[in-house]
Amino acid sequence: MSTHTGRAGSAFPPVPLALLLLALVALFTAPPLSWAKAPVSGTHGMVVANHYLAAEAGLRILQKGGTAADAAVATAAVLGVVEPWFSNILGGGTWALYYEKKTGSVKALDGVGPAPTHATAEFFRNPDLSAYGIHQANVPGAWDGWIQLLKEYGRLSLKDILAPAIELAENGVPVSPDFAEWNERLKVEIASMPDTAAIYLKDGKPHKAGDVIYQKDMAKTYRELVEIEQKNLGKGRKAALQAASDHYYRGPIARKIVDFSKKQGGLFDLKDFESFHVEFVAPVRVTYRGYEVYACPPNSQGITQVLALNILEGYDLKKMKRNDPETIHLLSEAQKLAFADRFQYIGDPKFVKIPLDKLLSKEYAAAQRKRIDMNKAMEWPIPGGIDTRDLGTTTFHIMDPEGNAMAVTTSQGSNFLVIPGTGINMNNRMPMFNTDEGNPNLVRPGKKVRHTSNPSMALKDGKVFMLWGATGNDRQPQTQLWGLLNIVEWGMSPQESVDAGRVIINTFPLARHPHPVPNTLEMEPRKFPAQVVEALKAKGHKAVTRGTFGTMNMIMVDTRTGLMIGGAESISSAGVATW
């Protein structure tokens, strides 16, 4: 039995965490390296995550006999410790897809919370009122989402599941280059909140890569939730887990959040938390060349990826070279149409009517195809087709030994804002709402924001073929679309797909307020020759090159043999853990 995890494909067996941390401190003092990770495969179970300590934690849970659900919560909890500006199981929101082997079914978990009681469009139209602060947070839905997942599909206790995160938060984690970069970028905001600054600044200055950071209040809160579960085990496992959720939403944790919110001029009321419950929902599904492709439904933006996929099914992409101007133009135009529909139709389905069946139909895709001119790029405004700043996110994927699988994208936004005494880092999702009357994503009390988190899953003949996801708000469905096509159309391995050059369009109102429309086509430098960029400009694209953007991770499964192959972002702290 062995594990393979870490940057650049390093491999090591399980070791005591304290020794691992000492080694990692030395590793993180160097800048990130940009070589490719070695291909990693396994037969029993696999976890791919945006940080290899999280992947290692998830694998530990699988090796203890846990399910994909158990491992997912452990992985997410550790990610909240090692990259706290991106996600937090107690402060953010989560969308996930769960495949249950025994039934062959796929469910979507909507772990996104609503806007607070006192949220209004008028408030967020005022930039002086809506700047950095607790009022940028919606109700954190992730914790109840994880609890409902464990009640439905889990096996282990919170005591086992949260142990790796508690250990890391208590004993310290090394600051990665990414961590240090975001710490520097948000230092002014961090300094404005004393309890946040006490953790995320060192002598009033941002932490440097290689520093060790301690999050003892976070560890204390995790222990508190474990104790509540343990005290209630006599009532049964599910009741004990629910008690841990109630302790948050209908107990002292919610009261601390609301008290802090009121002191800071925030928008929360206790009833926002007391009435909140997460539910499983039906995913969005399309077929593509014999594969079943699943995405999260609205309020998620997951439909954007599959709308573009439906359009592209009408083209013979295998005959087109991936990095040719014609291919890039085609994929860009298909995605522009998909994002136009996102803007015009997608919001919280409890507040707006969404013509999902028509949007997802092959007939609609055929009509959309006719709108693409292979010689001319579209620019915004692009009407919907039916006649009637980087935001922080993290993504991970799990296959357990029983064949159950999860694709997860969880996010709080790029934010450092700690609730005093809890260690909980709150989300800043409210600026993702729109403030224009008539927009389906218009902010309203109790309404869920159009969430950018949208993990993906593909089945072949009823078996898991691929789990994948990306980071970077509007870039997520775009990166994921390319990720699938890299494998299905152009025969890449998971690692090749993850490392391939990325192209991102911005020809639509971006997700974050004030929703600008750059009308640009961004390309990673050094991965596309100058003549390709110039050819795209000749078609009318405002093509620009810029540094790397976003991350992607994935698992591909050989449906004949069950062999799992992982791909993790080479230029980040992502890793694959398997055995």
Q: What is the pLDDT of residues 289-325, one digit of tens each?
A: 999 999 999 999 999 999 999 999 999 999 999 999 9
Predicted confidence at residue 34, as pLDDT, reads 28
Q: Flag whether 448 is in a domain.
A: no
Whether residues 159 and 270 share a domain: the answer is yes
Looking at the predicted structure, is the pLDDT value of residue 393 above 90? no
Torsion angle defined by CA atoms of residues 96, 101, 102 and 105, in that order, rounded to the nearest 10 degrees: 50
Q: What is the pLDDT of residue 56?
A: 97
Tokens (6 digits) for 313:
């099914």
User: Do 178 and 271 reside in the same domain of the chain?
Assistant: yes
* Tens digit of each residue's pLDDT (9 = 90 or more) over 137-194: 999 999 999 999 999 999 999 999 999 999 999 999 999 998 999 899 999 999 999 9
Cα→Cα distances 10→26, 179, 499, Å: 15, 21, 17
What's the pLDDT band for 253 if we cut at 50, 70, 90?
A: very high
Kindly state whether residues 335 and 350 are assigned to the same domain: yes
How many residues make up the chain in this entry?
579
Q: What is the pTM of this model?
A: 0.92
For the chain, percent of residues with pLDDT exceeding 90: 82
Between CA 124 and CA 131, with CA 129 as vertex, the angle to 5 degrees is 85
What is the pLDDT, as a whole number, of residue 30?
30
| Residue 325 near residue 535, CB atoms below 8 Å | yes
Half-sphere exposure of 102 (CA within 13 A, CB side): 3
- When the pLDDT of each residue in the chain is averaged and rounded to a whole number, the result is 91
Domain of residue 468, CATH code: 1.10.246.130
pLDDT in the model for residue 37: 53
Would 259 be classed as within a structural domain? yes
- Beta strands 520-523 and 542-545: pairing type? parallel
CA distance 1 to 16: 16
Does 439 fall in a domain?
Answer: no
Q: Is residue 67 part of a domain?
A: yes
Same domain, 405 and 317: no
Q: Are residues 192 and 234 in the same domain?
A: yes
| Residue carrying structure tokens 């082997």 | 101
In a domain, 445, yes or no: no
- pLDDT, tens digit, 9 for 90 and up, residues 539-567: 999 999 987 778 999 999 999 999 999 99
d(CA 89, CA 110): 14
Is 293 among the domain residues?
yes
Helix (H, G, I), strand (E, B) or coil at 504: strand
pLDDT at 36 over 60: no
Catalytic residues: 393
Range of the domain at 142: 7-277+397-432
Distance CA(294)–CA(416), nearest Å, equals 32
Residue 1 lies in a domain: no
Is the pLDDT reported for residue 225 higher than 90? yes
Q: Both 305 and 267 in a single domain?
A: no
Residues 288 and 312 in one domain: yes
Mean pLDDT value across residues 368-388: 84
Model confidence over 88-136: pLDDT tens digits?
A: 999 999 999 999 999 999 999 999 999 999 999 999 988 766 568 999 9
**358 and 266: one domain?**
no
Domain count across the chain? 2
Q: What is the pLDDT of residue 442?
A: 97
- Of 91-95, 244-248, 391-395, which gets the smallest average pLDDT? 391-395
Query: 471 and 543 share a domain?
Result: yes
Q: Which amino acid is at 105?
A: S
In this structure, of 124-128, 333-337, 341-345, 526-530, the range with the lowest mean pLDDT score is 124-128
Identify the pLDDT of residue 386. Answer: 61
Residue 440 lies in a domain: no
